[in-house]
Amino acid sequence: MNIMEQQFLEAGTLMLAGMVFVFAFLSLLIIFINTVLAKLAIRFPEPTVSTPNRSNKPKNNAANGEISPAIVAAISGAVTRYRQQHSQQPSSSQKSKK
């Protein structure tokens, strides 16, 4: 039994040492990458993009999030037709009750 306990202790020590090594390596890697990125951001700043001037009235309704009346009418017609077709046919739950 003494040999098994010694092997488990050795395995636990190796596992803990490996986890500490990986954690330290990844921490140093993150610090290094952030440092390099900070220096690069100073040297190569992001270019500023000028936005075009917009008029008060947009050209189409999709630009400001509105839905055109033609689309609303088409959807309403499709829903009405679907309800008419499916309200005439008895459902499977109504068939089983008879």
Q: Would 68 be classed as within a structural domain?
A: no
- How far, in Å, CA of 15 to CA of 20, rounded? 9
Task: Give pLDDT tens digits along the chain (98 positions).
Answer: 799 999 999 999 999 999 999 999 999 999 999 999 999 988 888 887 777 766 555 555 555 678 889 999 999 999 999 999 998 766 555 555 55
Q: Would 97 be classed as within a structural domain?
A: no
Q: Would 86 be classed as within a structural domain?
A: no
pLDDT of residue 59: 56
Q: How many domains does the chain have?
A: 1
Q: Would 80 be classed as within a structural domain?
A: no
Tokens of 20: 């500490």
Q: Which residue reads 């092997």 in tokens?
A: 7
**What is the pTM for the complete model shown?**
0.44
Q: What is the DSSP string of 69-97?
A: HHHHHHHHHHHHHHHHHHHHSPPHHHHHH
pLDDT of residue 47: 80
Q: Would 5 be classed as within a structural domain?
A: yes
pLDDT of residue 49: 76
Q: Which domain holds residue 15?
A: 1-45
Q: Would 9 be classed as within a structural domain?
A: yes
